Structure 1
């Protein structure tokens, strides 16, 4: 941080409303970036701890992942290819039904 970016309380009282609003936006953006960095660091630490214990983080959290990070499907319903499953978590009903009818997971692999 440069000396120009460091602001004291005295500096704040001498600033115009426009300058204060601009500063407020910069501070809000800096807070958001820091929160994202902290969140990523915490997630990485949790994933490392889970891995050290022989688990994936999704296994320990009930299969829930971070928003936007879905696993790639590995299996598709032979009768309805739009129904897919990643192979993780509880098996969907269509997988159980196909297995009971004699199909194997290999036959449903994408």
Structure 2
């Protein structure tokens, strides 16, 4: 079941949200993304970047136009040793470029999601 934490932070008009769920194969990743994007707000988002480690040898990611964001998510999953899980960071562009801050925001969203798993 897809867990959505909603909007985690805003910066210069851009909004960031995070979602995720356990997955065991690419079909489950596709189904989770379809479920997320079935909500109008997420379907209209500028970027739905994601990363998943199906097992230690199968990292999958998508930047969805936010170059490098998928790798940030994957690195954090690898550091946590969290396999079989999909994390999606959604961004609604606010009209101003964020530069390197966008990667810190992706990290903040992933951290927030990982903290909810520990509760």
TM-score range, shorter chain: under 0.3
Between Structure 1 and Structure 2, the one with more strand by share is: 2
TM-score (norm: length of structure 2): 0.19
Which structure ranks higher in relative contact order (CA pairs < 8 Å, sequence separation ≥ 6)? 2
TM-score (norm: length of structure 1): 0.20
Choose 1 or 2 for highest CA Rg: 1
